[in-house]
Structure 1
Amino acid sequence: MTTAVYLASASPRRKELLSQLGIEFEQFSVDADETPLVNEQPHALVERLARLKAQSGVALGYTDRPVLGSDTIVVIDNESLGKPRDKNDFTTTLKRLSGNTHQVLTAVAFATQTDVLSCVVSTDVTFKTLTDEEIAAYWESGEPQDKAGGYGIQGLGGRFVTHIAGSYFAVVGLPLYETEQLLQAFLRR
């Protein structure tokens, strides 16, 4: 049985990963306010945003098949790190990640007009100790600007990673196993 879904994300990484599951899909983007709520914990934030994106797709009229929404955040010391605002913000972020282990939380949600189901996948990522030169050169590469936590594990940023415990694909932006399992559970409801 071939299942078709909508992917409520403009991310080329999520598009590529979803393609690996062999699921037929159409991709579109949604405009979602990603501002954290007051005192919102990282796990709650990432799950709320994935659900919001999926439900926003339904609200836009994508109602004839499930809508997939996803969000990824980087967390260190229970603080969510978003996409870098500028070079200074990026540098501060990478210095915090340098030589430390942080968590990458990726939430996945499927929604229709009557139902929504979601899950959160947590992966521990450890960075080597970075030099100021490595941080500056990485910024100049252009890769970190649109990435949660200021790095892409699937690109040049992958060379900073010394250890990963959990789902590599969740760090890239869409956990394959969990997405497939969640869709199967959603369709059985």
Structure 2
Amino acid sequence: MSHTELPKLILASSSPRRQELIQSLGLPYIIRVSDADETVEQKITPAELVELLSMRKATTVRDMLKGTAEQGVIIGSDTVVVFQGEVLGKPVDENDAFRMLKMLQGQTHEVYSGVACVDTGSSEEGNAGADDTTHIGDLIRYRIQVKSPEGRPAVIVGHSVSKVTFRPMSDEEIRAYIQTREPMDKAGSYGVQGIGAVFIEKIEGDFYSIMGLPLNLLNQMLLRFGISSLKRV
């Protein structure tokens, strides 16, 4: 990647919400959808899960672009909803969506969002180690996982945690919400940026993390690559 011009961002996602958020940074970007396998066999923490899947999405696109002229920083992201230790993914059907929303109503749950930034020219060699972990407040952290031979960051991965409290919801409200179809393609069966917002009592953390792409975390990671949404040279 040339360091004489602003690197291009390559979003490894087909999510309209993530595309909308990446566009808000005002930086040049393209979409290259990852077909990464998202199954995870081993038992790991939610933080490890979203970081693993974010990395898998980004490195899959990196491998896909090898031998092409497309260069830049690939961004992979993954989000899960966690309630009392159970990871809630996208509902398999309406009954599953009802089950999740029934659990979440009147309660507080966590949303974990992972982000991986991977230089298209990076490799798996040169692990920087855990000592490179950076904390942003209490709920956000990232680490440089791989450095280039010149010592620049090549692979950075991290995650943020947000807490969401739902007001009590009746069964009728839950069923009516499911009928809007909004819950059916979203982790935890709700969309914070859509109709689901009417059920949210309070949020602690990054709103955009709950949408699926923590802009606070992403911005800090991109700065390590010399990319700033405030300085476009």
TM range (shorter): over 0.9
Q: Partner letter of residue 89 of structure 1?
A: D
Where in structure 2 are the equivalents of 1:168-183 lying within 5 Å? 168-183=207-222
Counterparts of 1:65 and 1:5, CA distance in 2:
6
1:100 aligns with 2:139: no
* TM superposition shift of 1:86: 0.6
How many Å separate the matches in 2 of 1:89 and 1:36?
A: 20
* 2:56 corresponds to 1:52: yes
Return 57-66 or 105-114, whichever deviates more: 57-66
The answer to whether the 8 Å contact 1:3/1:23 transfers is: no
Name the SS for the 2:78 alignment partner. strand
Amino acid at match of 1:127: F
Q: Which residue type is aligned with residue 175 of structure 1?
A: P
Q: For residue 86 of structure 1, what is the amino acid of its counterpart?
A: D
1:73-104 deviations in Å (ceiling 9; x for gaps) = 00111211000001111111001101100001
State the partner residue of 1:35. Answer: 39
RMSD, aligned α-carbons: 1.5
5 Å matches for 1:1-189?
Answer: 2-61=6-65, 64-112=71-119, 113-114=122-123, 115-187=154-226
Asked whether the 8 Å contact 2:10–2:30 carries over to 1, the reply is: yes
Amino acid at match of 2:199: F
CA–CA distance in 2 between the matches of 1:124 and 1:36? 24
* Structure 2 residue matching 1:106: 3-state secondary structure: strand
| Residues 8, 71 of structure 2: 8 Å contact kept | no
Aligned 8 A contact 2:7 2:73 in 1: no
Q: How many residues align?
A: 188
Report which of the two has the higher share of helix. 1
Query: How far, CA to CA, are the matches of 1:129 and 1:14 in structure 2?
Result: 29
Please give the alpha-carbon distance, in whole angstroms, between the structure 2 residues aligned to 1:9 and 1:169. 16
Q: In structure 1, what is the Cα distance between the partners aligned to 2:39 and 2:79?
A: 14
CA separation in 2, counterparts of 1:169 and 1:53?
19
1: CA distance between counterparts of 2:41 and 2:26? 36
1: CA distance, partners of 2:225 / 2:187: 27
Displacement of 1:187 in angstroms is: 4.3
TM-score (norm 2): 0.77
Contact conserved, 2:8 with 2:29, CA < 8 A, in 1? yes
CA deviation map 1:104-153 (0-9, x unaligned)? 11111111233321110100000011111111111110111110110000
Structure 2's unaligned 5+ residue stretches are 124-153, 228-233
Counterpart code for 1:81? L
Give the secondary structure class of the aligned counterpart of 1:108: strand
